[in-house]
Amino acid sequence: MTTTKKTKTVKWGDEPKLGWVEAMYLPAIVSGVATALKHAFSGKTTTRQYPEVEPTIPPNYRGVHRLNRDEAGRVKCVACYMCQTACPANCIEIIAAPAPKDDPKWKDRDKYPETFTIDELRCIYCGMCEEACPVDAIELTSIYDLTGLTRQEMIYDKEKLLSVYDQTVNSGNDPIRTNRGALGPASLEAPTAKQGPPPPGQGRHG
């Protein structure tokens, strides 16, 4: 088999030659000790005293979930199963129920989630659920210190997720993805096939 002759240049590097002064090790030791002493007496520390001083979490951090409420204080979720379908870790479980038609408060809604559970231990905090949600009902907050003593208490149900909303909505550190107050574009005027797609810039994804 003949191959085209290929030339490669390899650069050989040699260790720099040590003079006799450097070979005594002493100058290097002195300069090393000087560096160590300089740092020891500089008085600067980079340590953050964690439980007392909490870090500032950026608003695009993906922490514990919350279920948003709408203006009437109801759960904003419309039980469309989009998040449950999108979830790669299968940690969301929704059971939908028809909205109580007799109640005038629920007149504008067809469905609502009867139960909404998220297994926080199974979740990988990828944010696909909030991306899938058409009404911005589920969001990831910047709560990062999630702890629990049992697996059972790490399975968050609807009430707990709503309480996370109550706890974080006024903390001033809302997720930057949030659409506080307004429902998502899908819930406004459902664009049908007849009407065609929404004009550019108005749809959820531009």
Partner 1 sequence: MFEYLKEIWPTLWPTLAAIGVILAFVPFLGLYMTFIERKLAAYVQDRLGPNRVGPFGLFHAIADAIKLFLKEQTIPAHVYKLLYFIAPTFSLMTAMFALVVMPFGPVPTEYSSGFRYIVAPGIDIGILMMIAISSLSAYGIILGGWASNNKYSLYGAIRSCAQFISYEIPLGLSIIGIIAAAGSLNIEQIVAAQGGPFWNWNMFWQPVGLLVFFTSALAETNRLPFDLPECEQELVGGFHTEYGGIKFVLFFLAEYTHVITVSFLTSLLFFGGWHFPGLTGPVDSSLGGMLLRTFVLVFKVGMVVSFIMLLRWALPRFRFDQLMGLAWKGLIPLGLVNLLCVAVVLTFDLPKHLLSFTAIFIFVGSLISARQLQFTINRPRSAGRPSIAQTTSEVTI
| Alpha-carbon gap, residue 24 to 16, rounded angstroms | 15
| Alpha-carbon gap, residue 10 to 12, rounded angstroms | 6
Within residues 28-87, the interface with partner 1 by CB under 8 A covers 28-37, 39-42, 44-47, 49
Of 12-20, 57-65, 107-115, 181-189, the segment contacting partner 1 by CB under 8 A is 12-20
Give SS3 for 11.
Answer: coil
Helix/strand/coil percent split, the chain, to 5: 25, 15, 65
202 touches partner 1 (CB under 8 A): no
Q: State which of residues 2, 3, 11, 181 lies at the interface with partner 1 (CB under 8 A).
A: 11
DSSP state of 75: B
> Which pairing describes strands 92-98 and 138-140: parallel, antiparallel, or unpaired?
unpaired
Q: State which of residues 1, 2, 16, 199 lies at the interface with partner 1 (CB under 8 A).
A: 16
Residue 1 C-beta: closest distance to partner 1, Å? 17
In whole angstroms, how far apart are CA 48 and each of 6, 40, 56, 61, 81?
56, 18, 11, 19, 42
Residue 18 C-beta: closest distance to partner 1, Å? 11
205 touches partner 1 (CB under 8 A): no
Q: Specify the residue, 48 or 194, whose C-beta has the smaller distance to partner 1.
A: 48
DSSP 99-165: --SSSGGGTT-SEEEEEEEEETTT-----HHHHH-TT--EEE-S------SSSGGGEE-HHHHHHHH
Q: Specify the residue, 35 or 115, whose C-beta has the smaller distance to partner 1.
A: 35
Q: Specify the residue, 47 or 150, whose C-beta has the smaller distance to partner 1.
A: 47
Of 7-15, 63-71, 126-134, 198-206, the segment contacting partner 1 by CB under 8 A is 7-15
Q: State which of residues 1, 3, 4, 13 lies at the interface with partner 1 (CB under 8 A).
A: 13
95 touches partner 1 (CB under 8 A): no
Number of residues interacting with partner 1: please give it, by CB under 8 A. 36
Q: Amino acid letter at 101?
A: K
Please give the residue ranges that form the binding site for partner 1 (CB under 8 A). Answer: 6-16, 21-22, 24-37, 39-42, 44-47, 49
